[in-house]
């Protein structure tokens, strides 16, 4: 877990199984404070799409997640927890 910028938490789940990654991400979401508005999940893309699909489908349903944003990097998915105005 790395804080890249203020308000953005980065989580790397490379090398984890789908179950391990889901438990890890959900535990980090529970611990997020009000200062975190975005969680960037680094899941990779060359080793298959299971982690990516799990983040974009299952984790997207978490009550803390407002929406999912897919960026230019296919190995990352951003989970938006709240809008930053």
Tens digit of pLDDT per residue, the chain (85 long)?
Answer: 555 688 899 999 988 999 999 999 999 999 988 899 999 999 988 877 899 999 999 999 999 999 999 988 999 999 999 987 7
Q: Is 38 helix (H, G, I), strand (E, B) or coil?
A: strand
Q: Is 70 helix (H, G, I), strand (E, B) or coil?
A: strand
74: left (phi over 0), alpha (psi -120 to 50) or beta: alpha
The pLDDT, as a whole number, for residue 42 is 94
The pLDDT, as a whole number, for residue 84 is 74
Whole-prediction pTM: 0.88
The pLDDT, as a whole number, for residue 2 is 57
The pLDDT, as a whole number, for residue 67 is 95
């Amino acid at each position: 877990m790395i804080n890249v910028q203020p308000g953005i938490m980065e989580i790397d789940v490379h090398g984890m199984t789908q179950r391990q990654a889901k438990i890890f991400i959900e535990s980090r979401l529970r611990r997020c404070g009000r200062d975190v508005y975005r969680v960037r999940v680094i899941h990779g893309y060359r080793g298959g799409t299971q982690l990516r699909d799990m983040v974009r489908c299952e984790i997207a349903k978490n009550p803390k997640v407002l929406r999912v944003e897919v960026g230019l990097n296919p190995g990352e998915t951003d989970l938006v927890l709240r809008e930053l105005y």
